[in-house]
Amino acid sequence: MHGGIDSALWHDYSPSLRAILDEYARAVGELGDVLSSIPATRYTATTSLSDDCFPNIKTICDHVIGCIYLYADYIEDALDQTNRGTREHGFSCATLAEAAVSLWPAFQRTVSVLSRIKGYGDEELEAVRFTTRWEQPYDIEQMLEHAIVHILRHRRQIERWLVVGSSI
C-alpha cells in the first residue's frame, strides 16, 4: 500500500514502470506524511520564505497537485500524438487534510494513463518524445523523473518553511 493506493494497481506493468511508480508513490506518501504533521494554522500562514508565487503552504499544495495532473496530461498527449493544451486543474484545497488526500487521485491518474503502455521498458519510454510549454524536450521516462523530483523538491520546501516558522 502507498497511502490510499494499492501498488497492486501497477503490479502487471513493466519492471521499469513498476520501479518508477513505486518511487513516485513513495515520494507522494512522504509529502503526505509531512502535510499530516503540520498544525492547521500553518497552512495559510506566511513565513520569511513566502514570495508572490508561494505565499503559503496551501499554494504549494495546490501547485503540486495540479502539476501531477499536468505531467500525466503531457504523457497522455504524447501517446495520442496530439496537443490538447493546458487542461484546467484549478485545485484549491481548503485544508491540509484535503490536500493530503487529493494527492492520491492525482497520482492514480498517472497510473491510469500509463496503463496504456504498461509493457514499456526504459527504451520504449525514452522513444516517446514531446516538448513542454517551457520549451524543453522530454521523453516519458524524463517526464516521470521530473514528476518525482518535483514532489521531492516541494516536500523539502515545506520542511524548510516549517523550520523557519510562521510570521503570523
- The binding site for other proteins (CB under 8 A) comprises 19-20, 22-23, 26, 126, 136-139, 142, 145-146, 148-149, 152-153, 156-157, 160, 163
CB of 25 to other proteins, least distance (A): 11
CB of 90 to other proteins, least distance (A): 25
Residue 99 or 125 having the CB closest to other proteins: 125
How would you class 50 by CB atoms within 10 Å of its CB: exposed for 0-12, middle for 13-18, buried for 19 or more? middle
Contacts 24+ apart (CB under 8 A), 90-94: 90/66, 91/61, 91/62, 91/65, 91/66, 92/58, 92/62, 93/58, 93/61, 93/62, 93/65
Residue 26 or 118 having the CB closest to other proteins: 26
CB of 152 to other proteins, least distance (A): 5
CB of 160 to other proteins, least distance (A): 6
Residue 100 or 147 having the CB closest to other proteins: 147
Quote the CA–CA distance of 32 and 88 in Å, as a whole number.
23
CA distances from 42 to 28, 38, 84, 95 (A): 20, 7, 37, 10
Residue 63 or 146 having the CB closest to other proteins: 146
CB of 38 to other proteins, least distance (A): 18
Q: List the one residue out of 150, 165, 154 whose CA is nearest residue 58.
A: 154
Residue 21 or 45 having the CB closest to other proteins: 21
